Structure 1
Amino acid sequence: MAGEATQPTQLLRKVGCADLTAVPEVRHALRAMLATWGGPGATDVAELLTSELVTNALIHTDHGAVVTATVEPDQLRVEVRDFVPGLDRDRPRVPDADDGTHGRGLILVQALADSWGVENHGAGKVVWFELEGRAA
């Protein structure tokens, strides 16, 4: 029917404390969900940014996290909720040159996402990003 709204597709995953094996599992599920969404490279960017947020939540907290990805024809929103209060991850820091590969996650999110942010949510926070796109 013309003008009828399409229901968003959603991915919801709970990841355990320090369970870094969950990162590729979440990426794989996201890739499957985005099979027909976005232009060239959109899925790759979405996977990269999701990996960064999930890894941050698992490395920098002593609790697990909940990952929610909602895809609509024109937008993808990914949220990673942890259970540690505080907005200490809302401003990306520039990593030291000798810091190896650590400290670049939020800088990538800031550079590649169309929008992103951090919000308090009771006993924890949500770090989120959005990508604009069109269904393939």
Structure 2
Amino acid sequence: MTRHQAGLGSAGSGPVRTPDAQQRDQRLLCRRVGQSDLGAVREVRHALRELLGASPQAEAADVAELLTSELVTNALVHTGHGAVVTVTVGEAGLRVEVRDFMPTLPTPYVPSSDDGTHGRGLLLVQALADAWGVHEHDRGKVVWFELGDGVARY
């Protein structure tokens, strides 16, 4: 199993909590963004920063914002539909899920030097996230990533 397929909080990584205790220890953000509403990317970033609050782990928050922006932008630009962004912050870290309504699964794009900054979103997620993946949903897909260490202390 690669690090991108491994989930956070595997067996033996800490105390076992009941689902109720886990939910009390988590903070949640859920936003729906409309089709082609690229201004919503900034709003989601600000809501994420507010959820994370002030912290000495600013670098981890910056990475979380960058990767969230990339996934939301990808969902809006490449699907032609809106998306639902869900962020969960708990003891194990942060998990961001961006659900869109198109069944086509993304593949990391290998950009050429002529592409400018186009096509690097999933490469950034792959490089900076502790884990990431895609799973199909009944009406589309969910692209997600997790960050552990720096964000877990928020």
8 A contact 1:53–1:105 mirrored in 2: yes
User: Which residue is equivalent to 1:32?
Assistant: 50
User: Which residue is equivalent to 2:120?
Assistant: 104
3-state secondary structure, aligned to 1:126: strand
**Corresponding residue to 2:129 among 113, 126, 130:** 113
User: Which residue is equivalent to 2:109?
Assistant: 93
More helix by share: 2
Cα distance in 1 for partners of 2:91, 2:77 equals 32
Segment drifting more, 47-56 vs 5-14: 5-14
- State the percentage of identical aligned residues: 64
Shift of 1:86: 2.1
8 A contact 1:52–1:105 mirrored in 2: yes
Moved over 6 A (4+): none
Structure 1's 72 and 36: CA in aligned 2 closer, same or farther, altered over 3 A? farther
**Corresponding residue to 2:77 among 34, 59, 74:** 59
Shift of 1:36: 4.9
Cα distance in 2 for partners of 1:67, 1:74 equals 19
Structure 1's 34 and 115: CA in aligned 2 closer, same or farther, altered over 3 A? same
Q: For the aligned residues, what is the CA RMSD? A: 1.7
8 A contact 2:30–2:84 mirrored in 1: yes
Structure 1's 66 and 37: CA in aligned 2 closer, same or farther, altered over 3 A? farther
Q: Runs of 5+ in structure 2 lacking a partner?
A: 1-15
**Corresponding residue to 1:22 among 40, 47, 53:** 40
Shift of 1:38: 7.4
Cα distance in 2 for partners of 1:9, 1:38 equals 18
Q: Runs of 5+ in structure 1 lacking a partner?
A: none
8 A contact 1:36–1:135 mirrored in 2: no
User: Which residue is equivalent to 1:81?
Assistant: 99
Segment drifting more, 13-22 vs 73-82: 73-82
Deviation per residue, 1:79-134 (Å, 9 max, x gap): 000000121x1x31211110111100000000000000000001100000000033
Cα distance in 1 for partners of 2:60, 2:92 equals 12
8 A contact 2:71–2:121 mirrored in 1: yes
8 A contact 1:37–1:73 mirrored in 2: no
Matched length: 132
Structure 1's 121 and 107: CA in aligned 2 closer, same or farther, altered over 3 A? same
